[in-house]
């Protein structure tokens, strides 16, 4: 994003943000309530229009980007519940659609990816249960599995630890550790780094819709790998 601005209800909620998320980065977006973190994430994904500036996903503006299977988005709140009850497996399988041919039924690879995603978040035993009957922390894991089912290169999570107990936060850290070890890119909105701290490569702090501070904590695993692998 370059000079990204977003106006909501006549108010400038993002006031000129320059942010680049590199391959293999594990970037934590922090900042006080109302500083614009969710707005920034949604604007980066093209879910909110910019009133100024420009943003690109893998080199394309969001309206021209087609390869949505490369991105897994875990929103802050559950879009599920209320409506038709769906099983954990059904919700997770819906995350596979961006990778599937539109006219073909799920292949063995699709089913294996869904099983693998459910296993990664430790919900194999609950796969046939109604997702809306699970606890908040477990529902969060269902949404994470839904994002993982598409085998994305980049995963974006808005406050994955909000309202989640310590045990589930540790479980998320383990799942994310596997993903970052595979060189995937992660963008997280976090109130506090908590158990995810050892995985974070960069923090970016927003205040009043602007970037107030940026810190690099460690080299991104993929960047380190590339440096190590490149000829001297």
Residues that bind ligand ATP (CB under 6 A): 8-9, 13, 31, 33-39
Whole-number minimum distance, CB 41 to ligand ATP, in Å?
8
Question: Distance (Å, rounded) from C-alpha 218 to C-alpha 179?
Answer: 17
Question: Distance (Å, rounded) from C-alpha 25 to C-alpha 27?
Answer: 6
Whole-number minimum distance, CB 2 to ligand ATP, in Å?
19
Residue 47 vs 112, nearer CB to ligand ATP: 47
Whole-number minimum distance, CB 33 to ligand ATP, in Å?
4
Whole-number minimum distance, CB 229 to ligand ATP, in Å?
37
Residue 33 vs 101, nearer CB to ligand ATP: 33
DSSP the chain: -EEEEEEETTEEEEEEE-----TT-EEEEE-STTSSHHHHHHHHTTSS--SEEE--BTTB-GGG---GGGEEEE-SS-S-SSSS--BHHHHHHHTTGGGS-TTSPP-HHHHHHHHHHHHHTT-GGGTTSBGGGS-HHHHHHHHHHHHHHT--SEEEEESTTTT--HHHHHHHHHHHHHHHHTT-EEEEE-S--GGGGGG-SEEEEEETTEEEEEEE-S--HHHHHHHHHS--
Residue 9 vs 59, nearer CB to ligand ATP: 9
Residue 38 vs 161, nearer CB to ligand ATP: 38
Whole-number minimum distance, CB 215 to ligand ATP, in Å?
18
Residue 148 vs 172, nearer CB to ligand ATP: 172
Residue 9 vs 228, nearer CB to ligand ATP: 9
Question: Distance (Å, rounded) from C-alpha 17 to C-alpha 41?
Answer: 11
Whole-number minimum distance, CB 121 to ligand ATP, in Å?
23
């Amino acid at each position: 994003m370059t000079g990204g601005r977003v106006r909501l209800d006549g108010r400038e909620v993002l006031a000129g943000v320059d942010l680049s998320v590199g391959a293999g980065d594990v970037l934590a977006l922090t900042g006080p309530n109302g500083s614009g973190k969710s707005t920034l994430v949604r604007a980066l994904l093209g879910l909110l229009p910019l009133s100024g500036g420009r943003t690109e996903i893998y080199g394309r503006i969001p309206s021209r980007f087609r390869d949505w299977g490369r991105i897994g988005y875990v929103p802050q709140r559950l879009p599920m519940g209320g409506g038709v009850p769906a099983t954990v497996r059904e919700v997770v399988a819906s995350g596979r659609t961006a990778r599937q041919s539109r006219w073909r039924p799920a292949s063995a690879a699709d089913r294996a990816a869904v099983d693998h995603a459910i296993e990664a978040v430790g919900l194999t035993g609950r796969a046939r249960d109604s997702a809306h009957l699970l606890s908040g922390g477990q529902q969060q894991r269902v949404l994470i599995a839904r994002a993982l089912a598409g085998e994305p290169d980049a995963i974006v999570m808005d406050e994955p630890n909000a309202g989640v107990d310590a045990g589930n936060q540790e479980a998320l850290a383990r799942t994310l550790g596997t993903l970052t070890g595979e060189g995937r890119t992660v963008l997280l909105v976090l109130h506090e780094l908590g158990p995810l701290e050892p995985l974070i490569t960069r923090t970016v702090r927003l205040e009043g819709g602007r970037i107030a501070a940026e810190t690099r904590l460690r080299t991104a695993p993929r960047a380190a790998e590339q440096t190590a692998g490149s000829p001297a």
